[in-house]
Structures are given as structure tokens and as C-alpha cells.
Structure 1
Amino acid sequence: MEENKSQPEDLSANQAEHTPKTEARPAPETTNPTTENSSLEFTSRIDLNDLQQAVAKIKAELGKVIVGQHNMLEMLIVSILSDGHSLIEGVPGVAKTVTAKLLAKTLAVDFSRIQFTPDLMPSDILGTSVFNVKTSEFEFKKGPVFSNIVLIDEINRAPAKTQAALFEVMEERQITMDGTEYKMAPPFLVFATQNPVEQEGTYALPEAQLDRFLFKINVPYPSLEEEITILENEHHRENKFALEMIEPVLTAAQIAEYQKTIKKIIIEPHLLKYIAAITDNTRNNANLFLGASPRASLAIMNASKAMAAINGRDFVTPDDIKKIAPAVLGHRILLTPEREMEGITPDRVVQQIIETIEIPR
């Protein structure tokens, strides 16, 4: 153990020896204006003005009703731009369902809501074949999952058989019924909510289904100031319904165009290695029984691109990755029984991993 501890000291000593050589160079000062000009040209390669304005409009529309919860709103917008599903977790009454409904209202696309219950069957979600007496043939009647934005309320209340019905449609954007494939019209996004406290009458989501969610967004209680604002807004709103106050901002075509733009965001090779190192650490971490799959690495990369675009950059930074990683990895890892008994949380382990991995320069 003492030999390992001495290694960082030796490294820092070597760095100290070489530091004067680096400081003696006057080159950075002379090349600084050129670097700034080149970075300006670099950032103008992709026009992100329309995308940023659209995001600002969405936030403004939601701000008419939703108070606070900035992280949830930002993550949901990132999930739309990066074409990924989101699991929203929080106690009842923190505006999980309302936010998802209002966000869907800002998009000029089809929306459906499915309330999961213990007696819900897969056919209630996907649809079923009905015999047509006139044609003497079976016809497929599409279920509520055939929509653009699908809100699943209390997803952990349905049994495993019903939850499994979502596997194919969430990953492949299609369902197979009676040997026929039915494609989902883009965009197709699932926003699901669940209550972390309630245990009675609930069924834990299997790891395979959790892995299909891009994010797991934890929604906290509002602050005291935010709660006072909520009360004041509700008092002054009187008889106006929240949904009536929201106007559509984006069309399906615009969403598809912005999703293509996100794919063009530049990410340097050393940042790809940084993402891979974070994910790989979850597989070799003593605190974890199960690590994240390559799907997690892809999710971090795509979501980081969307985060960069929202902030007006056409290139990803380490800060984008650090901000995105906890929401991507938290639901994809399993703690060892010992750490679970100690009260350690997956989010805390993810944060430790992010702090451990050296940030590329």
C-alpha cells in the first residue's frame, strides 16, 4: 500500500521539474488571438441559433406553469433532442406527470397517456386483432402506444408481462403482432413516472427495461421560495387550466431536423476515451455488483452532444459529460449487498467514479 501511495508523489515531482520549461515559452501569448479566431470559426460550422431559440421558447412556455425543476426540464429536452426515453422518479405531487404532459403540449405531435395498473394487459398497450364480420378477416386495432409522445404513469404498477410489452417498441420503435411489424412514426418517445417510496402493489422494473431508458431523472421537493411561488401562481390563475396556457413550439419535422443536427456535434477522440473509461470503471468497481453496458456509453455520448447544442456549442466538453453521466448511469448499475446495507446510493458511487477518472486536457 505504501508503494502505491508513493507513486503520485514521484509523478508530481517529475511534473515540477518540467514546469519551468513549459512556463518559459512565450508562444501561448502570441498565438492567443489566432486561437480565438479559429475557435470562433469552429463554433460557426453548425448553425444552432434556431435550436437554441426553440429550447428557450419551450422553457418559457413551461415556465408559465412549472416553478423550478430546472434540471428535470433540461434533461427532458435533452432526451427529446437525443431521441431517448426518460424515467422520471419522485414522490407524488412534485409535478412529474404535469411536466411531461405540458412538455408534450409544446410539441405539435400526437400524445397519449397510459395509466399502468396491476390488471393491465399487453394488448391494452400495443393493441389487438379484432375479427371483422364484413370482411371475414382479422384487423389490427392499434393501442395507445401508437403515438409520438407516450406518457406512462406509475410504470412500476404493472406486472412483468405488461412491462415486457414495451421492450421491443422502446428499443426498435416497432412492435411485432401476428408476424407483422408495425413501425412507430417519428418522433417516438416514452416518458414514464414512478414513485420511489411506494412498495405495496408495485413491481420493480427489470434491468433490461431500465437499460432502455436514456435517463432516470430524480425530482426533488421544491425549495421554500419555489413552493411559495407555486401557491401564488395557483391563486392568481383562478379558473384557467394549465394545459390551456401552453402553446405548441415545435413540429415533428423540426424535431427530426434538430435530432439530425445533434448527430453532427463534434466530440474529440480523447473525450470518447473519457466516456469509455467512466463506463468501464462501473464494471470493475468494488462497490458494484453490476456495471453499465456499452449502451450507457452511447447514451452519454449522444446526450452530451445535445447538452452542448443547447448551450450553443457544436463541440462537447468534459463538463457536458460530467453533467450527463449521473442521469445515464444511476439506473444501470447495481450495488453490492454490503454497500446497499451501508446506505450507499448508486448516484454517490457514480459521482465517486466521475471524480476518480482523470479529465482529459
Structure 2
Amino acid sequence: SCGLIYFLCFSPLFSSAINTQEVAVKEKHKGAHTFWAAVNRLPLSSNAVLCWKFCHVFHKLLRDGHPNVIKDSMRNKADLTDMSRMWGHLSEGYGKLCSIYLKLLITKMEFHIKNPRFPGNLQMSNRQLDEAGENDVNNFFQLTVEMFDYLECELNLFLGVFSSLDMSRSVSVTAAGQCRLAPLIQVILDCSHLYDYTVKLLFKLHSCLPADTLQGHRDRFQEQFKKLKSLFYRSSNLQYFKRLIQIPQLPENPPNFLRASALSEHISPVVVIPAESSSPESEHVVETDDLVDTDAPLETKFDDLFGTSAAIDPFNFNSQNGMRKDDKDRLIEQLTREIQALKEELESFRLEVKTAAFSNFIQAASSQNV
């Protein structure tokens, strides 16, 4: 019952973020605690654009949501893995991108479950980073490997989006281009921290272990450094990002881990989100009470959430957008019945409260008379 209430209350916020239109997700959508209650109703396996926008919103929720979001979402890992495998059969378009994005989100959840000291947004102080390794060089060694794997998934999505766009055109000013580019803001935020922490951990490891032991770490870092430096540079030149985010640039050359003093030359890359009110990242998040449109018919709410049948999506294997009309009607009837049941439960609860209060009053009066 509570899930239904939250589903209905949050559906305007949720539906305007995840729909089948090939436009960028508005940055103000942070998701809700009952995210999965609504997600399970969406045809993510048959509509690639819908799945892509789900991934974007889910990524934001993992970064900005309550810490329990990561733990609670792990229940859906198997479904996300199957969906990634399914979309991976497509060699191009949103299907391929969805497969890559889902792998990233699974990797992100697994990393944070295994390393609970790291928050979803990856923001940590140097002291917290040290504590994450528990003063054990073996822990730091393994943590660095896991960060490499994490960053690799981020870079794969970064590269996948760029390779899917015709960069000879002004992609960042088209709705379709922005739809693909929008999630990269979350990727850039993740990457800036992962790069910073791998640099610091590698310097720490080189102070404890022989250089030859860490040759594999250095090689992998060099490869990721070149990719990230190029991707940050290319992103910073796109008009779409210029109004939303200030992307840091990596140094000309990677750090020299064989020289301990080079750590003092490392500058942590800082991503800046402009504070202008026109920036979607800084848009006001509407309170729950403001989201409930009691006058809007349930049919309208449903169409907002699942998309209208008028839209056409080339990636929809069923040649339908969302659900059939009879499926909608059945769900609307079900929701209407549940709403009525909730109203009856609420009225019954109110009567119980009044009865209990009156009983307590009588008991208190009787004890005073005694």
C-alpha cells in the first residue's frame, strides 16, 4: 500500500525524467526512494531510449540518493545483468549504449557494496581515503585494481557515446545529441574522483612496494590517463557542456610515480557545476506535496509515466511505445481499486485513533475519580 502511495506521489517527477522521447533528462530529477516500484512497471527491455534514460536517472540516484539506495538496488542486479546482455546483441545505437551503461551501473553498485566507506558520489577526504585501506598495503593494492575496473567502465561509456555521434555536426545543440551526452555529466563527476584517488593510491603503493611489482598498475594507469585526458578535452569543447559544467583538464604528462616528490605536484581535478539558476543541475527540486496533481486524471498520469502511443521509437522491438491500450486500462482499474482500498484503510485508521484516544481519556478520568 505504501509503495502505491509513493508511486502515485512521485510519478510526475519520475515520468518527466524517464520517457521515450529522445531528449536529455532534466538535471533536476534526483529520483525517489521508491524508484524501483515505478521502474518495474516500465518496458525497459523493449525500448532502448527508455532504458537509456532509466540508466541516467538511476546513475544520478546512486550518486545523490540515500546510502541505502545502493544496497537496496543490488536486489535488481540479476535483472540489470540480463538486460545488459540482451541489449548487447545490438551492434549500434541506443541498444549498445544501454548495454555498456548497465555494466557501468552494476560495477558501480558492486564497488560501493564491497567498499562501503566510499559514498555514491565518491567524495572523500585524504584521511577517509587512507582509512579505506585500513593501513594494509594489500588492501590498497586491491582497492587500486577495483578503481581501475570502475574507471574502465566509465571510460567505455564515455567512448561509446562519442563514437555513436557524428562529431562533424553540431550534435550538442540537437535534442538527440543532448539525450546521449546528458549522462556524461555523471560520468565526468565519477571519473574526476576515480582518477584523483588512483594517483594518490599509486604514490602510496610506490612508497611501500618495489617498482617492478607495480609495473602492471603503472601501465594500466598510463592507458586510462591518455583516454581520460582526451575525453575531458573533447567534452570541454562541446557547447552542451559549457553551460552545465566546467570540466577540468588533466596535466600534459601523467605523474611520475617513481619520484615520490611528484605527489606534491599533483592537482586534484575539480568539476565545477555553475550556480546560475538557469543551469539544470541547480534547478530547484520540488517538494513531494507539490508533485501531487490531484486534479489530473489517472490516464494522464499513466501516459506521462509510460509515454503516449503517438511517439515512435525505432528501437522498440514490439513496434509499440510502452504498453498496449488494454494493458493501460487494466492497470488503471487496478490502481483505482487500490486507491479506494487505501481510502477505506485510512478512514478505518482514523476511527481507531479516535476510539483509542477516547478510551484513554475515560481511563484517565476514572483514575482521577478513584
TM-score of the aligned structures, taking structure 2 as reference length = 0.23
More strand by proportion, 1 or 2? 1
More helix by proportion, 1 or 2? 2
TM-score of the aligned structures, taking structure 1 as reference length = 0.23
Larger Rg: 2
